Each structure stands twice: as C-alpha cells, then as structure tokens.
Amino acid sequence: MKKYASEGEDMYLNRDVITLAQAKERLAAVAPKKITQEKQVEETLGYILAQDIIAPFPQPAFRRSGYDGYGILAEDDRDYPITLTLAAEVPAGSELKKKLQPKETIRIMTGAKVPDEVAKVIMLENTHMLADGKVVIKAGSRNDNITPIGEEFEKGAVLLTKGTLINAGAISLMSAFGFATCLVYKRPKVAILATGTELLQPKDAPVAGKIYNSNGPLLEALVKENGGKVVYCGQIADDIKSLEEKLDDLAKKADLILTTGGVSVGDFDFLAVAAKESGQLLFNKLAMRPGSPTTAFVYEKTLVMALSGNPGACFTGFYLLFESLLQNMQGNSTEIKITKMKLAHDYQKPNSFDRYLRGTWEETATGKVVSLVGSDQSSALGNLHLTTCFFKIPHDTVVTAGTEVEVWCLPYK
Amino acid sequence: MKKYASEGEDMYLNRDVITLAQAKERLAAVAPKKITQEKQVEETLGYILAQDIIAPFPQPAFRRSGYDGYGILAEDDRDYPITLTLAAEVPAGSELKKKLQPKETIRIMTGAKVPDEVAKVIMLENTHMLADGKVVIKAGSRNDNITPIGEEFEKGAVLLTKGTLINAGAISLMSAFGFATCLVYKRPKVAILATGTELLQPKDAPVAGKIYNSNGPLLEALVKENGGKVVYCGQIADDIKSLEEKLDDLAKKADLILTTGGVSVGDFDFLAVAAKESGQLLFNKLAMRPGSPTTAFVYEKTLVMALSGNPGACFTGFYLLFESLLQNMQGNSTEIKITKMKLAHDYQKPNSFDRYLRGTWEETATGKVVSLVGSDQSSALGNLHLTTCFFKIPHDTVVTAGTEVEVWCLPYK
C-alpha cells in the first residue's frame, strides 16, 4: 500500500501560491493566438469582424425615388395644374431606357432609379390620371422627393471596423453592399474532460457513493455561451494512464483543454500529477477561494486549464480564469464587468485567501446592492443558475452590511 | 395600361388606422400556441423549461466526505494523538464493503461516501503514516467534515420551475440529478420572405436601379437572436401569382411568416393585395412612424407579419410587433424593457403619428440619457447595428433637450 499521507503532504507543501492576477498573466502568455477565417456573411452572427468593411459603392448607388408618384422635368415644374403625357413606368429595380422629353412624365415607384434628367417626383396623392392616359399634376412639391447618390455612405466609407461584434444590423449593412463573405475570428475549439471514478452518466442508474457528472455539462454550456466550439465533452475514471492517453488525443483535437476534478492533494488527483509531469506547469495553487488548487499547464503544446471538481469552484474558476481566454481568442475582451456595490449583509468568515462568492445584485433607490445567492460552499450546485455576479471578500477580512465590495458582473442569461 | 393613381388612392384611403397597442392585441389573439418538446438536457441551453424539475433523490445522496483524510469512529475520537490500523481506502465513487471496527481507520477521499458508523473525517494534514502502515492521528477535529444527506436538497425539492430560462447552471443542476431529458418549449419555425424585383443576391454583380437584399439577412439574424428557427429565407420578384404560390408553400412549413416590402400603396405592393385577399386581414395601417403601412394577416391558417421594405422601418417593426410573439411562443416574455430617460437633444419634427426613433442611451452622472443614433430616415440602414433602443416622440409633439421620453431598450448585442 502506498504511503498516502506523506505523498499528499509533500505535494501540498510544494505548491507555490500565486495571485489571480499572476495566474491570468501566465495564462495569457501561453494562450493560442486568434485565428481568422472567411465566412458567409449570413453565418457570422455573434462573431467578431477581423477586417474593416469598406463601401465598394455609394449608398444609395443611384438617385432614388422616396415615394410612388410621377417624375417631371425641371422645365415643366411650374404653372400648376399641368397635364403631362405618360411616357413609361419605372418600377423599383428597373431603369428608364429612353430620355424623358418636355411635357412627358414617368410613373415611378418608391425605391426606383430616378433618371438624371428628372428634377422632382410628385407624390401620387397630388396627381390624377385622366381617361385618355394623360396625367394631371394638381400641384407642385417643395421637396424633390429624390435621395441623392451617396447620401448615406460615400464610396470608400468605413462601414464597420475590425473588432466589431457582428449583430443583425451589421449583417444587414454588409449585405446591402453585396458582401457575400467577410473575415472573422474563429471560435476556439475546446475539449472538456470531467475526471473521477465516482462519475455517472445521465442514463445510468444511481449507485451508492457515485454522483452524476454535472460539471461536464456545466462547462459545455459555459463554453458555448461564451462563444467556444465544444469538440469533445466526456469523462474518465481516476487513472493516470487513461488520463495521459486522453490528453494526448485531445491536445491534437482542441485549441484549449478544460478539465474538472483531480487537482487537489488527494491520491487520486491525477490532473495534479499530469500537470507536474508535463514539465510546463503554469500554476497549481491560487490565493483564492473557492478553487485554490486550480491548475494550469501546457500539455503537448496545448493549454490545459484544470478546474476543481467542486461545482461552485468549477463555475467560479471558469469565469475568473477561462472566460477572458476564450473571448480574447475570438477577438473580443472579457464580458465580465468589474464594479463596486454595497453588500446587503454581513460576511464574517475571514480566510487567508481572497474569496469570490456567488452573488446576485439589484438596483435599489440608493444604488446597486449585492448579496450572496444560495450557499457559499464550493461543493454547492444549487445556486449556479441564479448567480449573476461574484463579489470579493479580501483575505483576512470580515465585512459588515453596507460595506462596499468589488463585484464581477457576469453576462448573465 | 392600368389606372395606377386611382387604384393607389383607393387602397390608401381604405386603410383603417389602429394604434400599436391595438395591433399587438390583434396579433396575440391569432398567434400560434406554444408547443412543448422533450429534449436532451445538454441541448437545452437558451430554451425555456416547460415543466418543474423535482429532485428524485436528496443531494448529497449519501454522507459525503468534505476532505481527503482518515475516517474514525466516535469511540476513538479522544486522547489524541492516537494510533489506528488502516482497514481500507475509500476513493470517491466507491463504498466500504465491511464495517469499521474500533481502533481502525479508513483512508477516505474528498467526495467519497462516509460509512454510517464513521463519526468524523480527520484532514490529511493532521495525520501521519508510520512505516508499519499504522496511522497516527495527531489531533482531533472540531468539525466532522461530513456533509449530511440532503443538506443541499431534500428528495422532492423543486430544483427549477416551469418558465425558467435554461442557462449553464440549470443544465448542471438537472445533470446532477441524473436527468437525461427535460420538457422545453419549441423554437418557433419562421419563414422569411423579402419581396421586390429590385433585389439582388450577395454574389450578383451590381445592376443599375437594383439593390442588394439586406432586409432578408437582417430578419434572419433578428429571428435567430430572438430564439426563432429560420426554416426559409429567400426573395421573390413583385408578382402576385409567385407571391401567393410562395405563401402557400411557406404556410405549410412555418409557424410564422415574416415578409419585408410590398406593403405600401404602390402598384407593385402585392403583399398589401394578398393581405386584403386573404379575407383575414388583421391590420394594414398603424398610427406610428416608421412603418405605418405595416400589415398582418392570416394566410392558410398561418400568421403573416408583413413589414415595410425600408430597412429602418423593417428593423423597428420587428422589435415593436414581432419580437414578443416569438418570445411568447417560446414560453418567454419580451426582452424589451420600457423605461423613461431624458433626451439629449431637441427633436422638432412633429408628426400626426407617434414616432419610434432609433437611439442609443448612456448612463451619466445625472441619470440615463438617450439620443438619436445616425439618421432618423426609415430608408437608412447605417445605424441599425448601433441601435440599442427606440425612443418615442408622441404624435403632434416637438421635444426639446432634457425632456423625458419613453425608451424601449433592446436586448442589444
């Protein structure tokens, strides 16, 4: 039998504690670079533009009729009412093939191309068609009802800049200028691995001592919510050989590997072992709770972020360490907004590490107030769906109601 | 040749003007009912739960060790330091098969099932293993380090209620209780049809008098952003026969049909004609700008929402009339939040209809302030991607800077 205790102690004591900020720096230093790809414009919703979009032609590209009505020459624009001969009709999408002559008019529709020689479009309401096909223009018009070429955008105008998050309006703008594709940043490919002999899959019958894998599905959903592409989501038992084989495989498939479980000081915490053996350990002890044994390392050139197996710690670690990596690879920055709010209640459990507690905030008459949501235990999983922010209790501190605390607001859905 | 003017006038004058609120009531009255479906839990991100989720067992389901350490009996919990015989190891996911005896201890891991007879788990740091395999417990522990059965949830507890928007945390919670599937509301199937002989497709070369279809891609992205499933997105020329054939086809495929263009008073505005001929016209004139000719009707039992072809009016009409329909069919309510803010500037163009102008708002030292973003023309398409809200200028009113106006805040991305 192995000498458990001494090994455990040894591994624990050898860990260098670093701060969250230091951990983020080390991750950023080895994070994969963002990659661009050409994509069909209609499939770019939610992507970040990796190029400026420049107008290839003015908008409108032609003199455009603002109304349905009749087009007249400048020389006929007097002595109302006037009677003109209908020369042609110009529906939207068509073009007058001949030149309009004096005393002639064209029936023109909203959005249609106004011939160069036409000075005004008289709205339908101010006209009347006679039985013989002639048209009476009852009164003139102050406005010409014609939108000039380039009124909205000149040729060469910057329509959208590199770095823009593509929303529906941006898609319509690119489409209006005939762009079929554009350059965007690729979604990072993420592999998710839950480790633990205790893990059951959804359809398994309950087994004494075992639990259902909830962190795998949690991380899969968090990666998707934050723009990553999940290329693998699975689970393995606590076994160093299986783990290394799995990491070998995932390092080939994914840009980033995200694991949960196996990072603590226990004898079956093989992620901790793999991290040490990788020779490229970034950190394995953070001065924060929950998730102090959160570990990161590079395995076969692929960054592995190894989160705690405790649901609360796993959730917190994802947002505090992984979310910005994912966003940066997509050309985005973190969607977490750090601000300050008053705490609604006391929190009097000092810890030698900073705590990031799951909370929720609300707008009150005297400003925004944050409070704990559900349990503060890192093993709790009943409050993750209610968490809209984390709030920080600095190390070695007790806090009373009304104290201002740092709040990390999540892009909560 | 047809008598355009008189037809146009006739159609225009026959329209009954109703308010936006009345239009929403008429739409709600004929909107399809929401439909439920059983879905794999890991595929439910962003759906709305159509059932309560009840805990089928307590959580934790067994007495759970909070740490890696040694389990001891109550009768041995005294006279420290004590030396005990190692009887077995209990990793997470396993169960002790025999009964622990006095003077014996078990090595137990975080998350493992604690045998009934074990009173406390002593943390690893307070223990030491001897060369002969015996274990020295150096000091006792105030806490038992055991999480009792049902501490977080009792069997039968309501985990999530019907109507909950499923986020990552909700997925993890259902997974933790072994749910493989759950009941959610289906995403509405939406068909999108852009009409207009003037419309080019993205890869077409420019043609004088024609424009690229931008409203089709706009609506496709807006429907996706708001949870709908786009089952068709295409375009047709202005032709009543083609239109009716297309509507026949789409009415079979989709829960809702969304069109753009062809609703005005022109001779080629065949959506207006189809709406009248359907015999089930809901409205074809709203007391609002932009988009006053916005039309809705029921065609072969399917609701058709016919928006203006002007990009600004199309965008505005989607949010003011269609977004809540889409959300309601998914078991959700509108994501538009109506509030009041001060207007940053004058707006002095009175209109006999209420105006809903595209704007953006910001938080200032003296509260939230809204202002126009880009052009107020309904034909403009350069500001849709920047619009974060609409603000309302009541009919027959001019507004000066600092006036409080009604603001419709969009779920802007």
Task: Report B:108-167 residues touching A (Cβ under 8 A).
Answer: 109-113, 124-125, 127-129, 133, 135, 147, 152-153, 159-160, 164-165, 167
Estimate the crossing angle of helix A168-176 against helix B215-225, to 10 degrees.
170
What's the mean pLDDT in B126-148? 94
Look at residue A233 and tell me whether its pLDDT is greater than 90: yes
Q: What is the pLDDT of residue A5?
A: 37
pLDDT higher than threshold 50 for residue A191: yes
CA dist B315 and B322 (Å) reads 10
Per-residue confidence (pLDDT) for residue B45, from 0 to 100 = 97
pLDDT in the model for residue B413: 63
Q: What pLDDT was estimated at residue A11?
A: 46
Q: Which residues of B touch A159 (CB under 8 A)?
A: 382
Among candidate residues B152, B150, B121, B153, the one with its CA nearest the CA of residue B137: B121
Chain B residues with CB under 8 Å of A110 CB are 264, 266
**B window 170-209, beta carbon within 8 A of A:** 170-173, 175-180, 196-200, 202-204, 206, 208-209
* pLDDT confidence tier of residue A280, bands split at 50, 70 and 90: very high
Inter-chain CB pairs, A–B, below 8 Å: 312
Q: What is the pLDDT of residue B49?
A: 98
CB of A338 less than 8 A from some CB of B? no
Q: Quick check: A179 and B202 CB within 8 A?
A: yes
As a CATH number, domain A64-146 is: 2.170.190.11
Contacts of A208 in chain B (CB under 8 A): 62, 95, 113
Q: Could B167 and A208 be called an inter-chain contact, meaning their C-beta atoms sit closer than 8 Å? A: no
A106 interaction partners in chain B (CB closer than 8 Å): none
Tell me which residue of B315, B260, B304, B309 sits closest to B282, measured CA to CA: B304
- How far apart CA A292 and CA A243 sit, in angstroms, is 22
pLDDT tens across B357-409, in order? 999 999 999 899 999 999 999 999 999 999 999 999 999 999 999 999 999 99
Chain A contact present for B267, CB below 8 A: yes
Query: Which fold, A37-58+152-185?
Result: Molybdopterin biosynthesis moea protein, domain 2 (3.90.105)
Query: Is residue B240 within 8 angstroms of chain A, CB to CB?
Result: no
* Residue range A308-322, pLDDT digits in tens: 999 999 999 999 999
Query: What is the per-residue pLDDT across A59-85, written as a single tens digit (0 to 9) for each?
Result: 999 999 998 899 999 999 999 999 999
> How many beta carbons lie within 10 A of that of residue A404, not counting itself?
12
Cα–Cα nearest to B68, from B112, B3, B132, B129? B112
HSE of B186, CA atoms in CB hemisphere, 13 A: 13
Residue B65, CA distances (Å) to A3, A161, A383 in order = 20, 54, 21
Q: How far, in Å, CA of A103 to CA of A74, rounded? A: 11
CATH number of the B337-409 domain? 2.40.340.10
Question: How far is residue B264's CA from residue B273's CA, in Å, rounded to a whole number?
Answer: 10
Mean pLDDT of B62-77: 95
Assign A177 to helix, strand or coil: coil
pLDDT band at A407 (very low <50, low <70, confident <90, very high): very high
A174: DSSP letter: H
A81 touches chain B (CB under 8 A): no
Asked if B268's CB is within 8 angstroms of A211's CB, the reply is: no
- Looking at chain B, the whole-number percentage of residues with pLDDT higher than 70 is 97
Using an 8 Å Cβ cutoff, are B200 and B207 in contact?
yes
The pLDDT, as a whole number, for residue B10 is 43
User: For B21-81, where are the E strands, in sequence order?
Assistant: 36-40, 53-54, 64-65, 69-73
- Interchain CB contact of B272 with A (< 8 Å): no
pLDDT of residue B267: 73
Task: Find which of A1, A2, A3, A4 to mutate to test the B interface (most B CBs within 10 Å of its CB).
Answer: A4
| Residue A63 φ/ψ, nearest 5 degrees | -65, 125
Sign of the dihedral defined by the CA atoms of residues B71, B72, B78, B83, in that order: negative
The predicted structure's pLDDT at residue B220: 98
Q: Please judge whether B197 and A91 are an interchain contact, meaning their C-beta atoms are less than 8 angstroms apart.
A: yes
Q: What angle do CA B399, B401, B403 make, to 5 degrees?
A: 60
- pLDDT tens sequence across B19-58: 999 999 999 999 999 999 999 999 999 999 999 999 999 9
Distance of CA B204 to the CA centre of its chain: 34
Distance between CA B337 and CA A183 in Å, rounded? 33
Among chain A residues, CA nearest to B316: A169
The residues that bridge with B260 in the sheet, in sequence order, are: B194, B307
pLDDT in tens, A3-46: 333 334 444 457 899 999 999 999 999 999 999 999 999 999 99
- Residue type at A374 in one-letter notation: G
- pLDDT, tens digit (0-9, with 9 covering 90-100), for A209-230: 999 999 999 999 999 999 999 9
Band of residue B3 on the pLDDT scale cut at 50, 70, 90? very low
**A60 neighbourhood in chain B, CB within 8 Å:** 211
- Which CATH number is B64-147's, of 2.60.120.10, 2.170.190.11, 3.40.1190.20, 3.30.450.40? 2.170.190.11
Tens-place pLDDT, residues A364-375: 998 999 999 999
Q: What is the 3-state secondary structure (H, E, C) of B214-264?
A: CHHHHHHHHHHHCCCEEEEEEEECCCHHHHHHHHHHHHHHCCEEEEECCCC
Residues 34-63 of A with CB under 8 A from B: 41-42, 45-46, 57, 59-62
Between chains, do B176 and A381 touch, taking CB under 8 Å as contact?
Answer: yes
CA–CA distance, A117 with A188 (Å, rounded to integer): 55
pLDDT: which is higher, A3 or A190: A190
Indicate if the pLDDT at residue B2 is higher than 50. no
Q: Is the peptide bond before B188 cis (omega within 30 degrees of 0)?
A: no
Per-residue confidence (pLDDT) for residue A269, from 0 to 100: 84
Q: H or E element: which one contains A40?
A: strand A36-40
> B4-35+186-329: what fold?
Molybdenum Cofactor Biosythetic Enzyme; Chain A (3.40.980)
pLDDT for residue A133: 86
Share the mean pLDDT of chain B: 94
Query: For all residues of chain A together, what is the average pLDDT?
Result: 94
Query: B130, B271, B385, B412: which to substitute to probe chain A, counting the most A Cβ within 10 Å?
Result: B385
- Residues of chain A in contact with residue B239, where contact means CB-CB under 8 angstroms, are none
* Cβ proximity of A367 and A341 under 8 Å: yes
Least confident range of A20-24, A265-269, A347-351: A265-269
The pLDDT of A222-240, averaged and rounded, is: 96
Domain B38-58+152-185 has CATH 1.10.3720.10: no
Test A152 with B412 for CB contact under 8 angstroms: no
Q: Which of B68, B135, B171 is the closest to A8 by Cβ?
A: B68
Flag if A209 and B3 touch (Cβ within 8 Å): no
Asked if residue B192 lies in contact with residue B219, where contact means CB atoms within 8 angstroms, the answer is: yes
C-beta atoms of A178 and B212 within 8 A: yes
| Percent of chain B clearing pLDDT 90 (strictly above) | 89
Residue with tokens 């040894």: A10
Given B59, B175, B218, which is nearest A168 (Cβ)? B218
What Cα–Cα distance (Å) separates residue B241 from each residue in A132, A348, B246, B274?
29, 74, 9, 10
- For B269-309, what is each residue's pLDDT tens digit? 899 999 999 989 999 999 999 999 999 999 999 999 999 99
B256 has which bridge partners?
B190, B303
How high is the pLDDT of residue B1? Answer: 31
Residues of B in contact with A237 (CB under 8 A): 93
d(Cα A56, Cα A45) in Å, to the nearest integer? 22
List, in order, residues 6 or more apart from B32 with CB less than 8 Å away: B188, B255, B256, B303, B329
CA distance B376 to A19: 50
Residue with tokens 């999983």: A381
- Chain B residues close to A224, C-beta within 8 Å: 45
Output the CA angle A381-A382-A388, nearest 5 degrees: 95
A-chain CB neighbours of B311 within 8 Å are 172, 176
The CA-based diameter of chain A, rounded to the nearest angstrom, is 111
Query: What is the predicted pLDDT for the residue at A413?
Result: 63
Q: Where are the domains of chain A?
A: 4-34+186-327, 37-58+152-185, 64-146, 337-409
At A126 the three-state DSSP class reads helix
The pLDDT, as a whole number, for residue B84 is 97
> Domain spanning A4-34+186-327: which CATH class is it, in words?
alpha beta
Structure confidence by residue, pLDDT tens digits, A160-189: 999 999 999 999 999 999 999 999 999 999
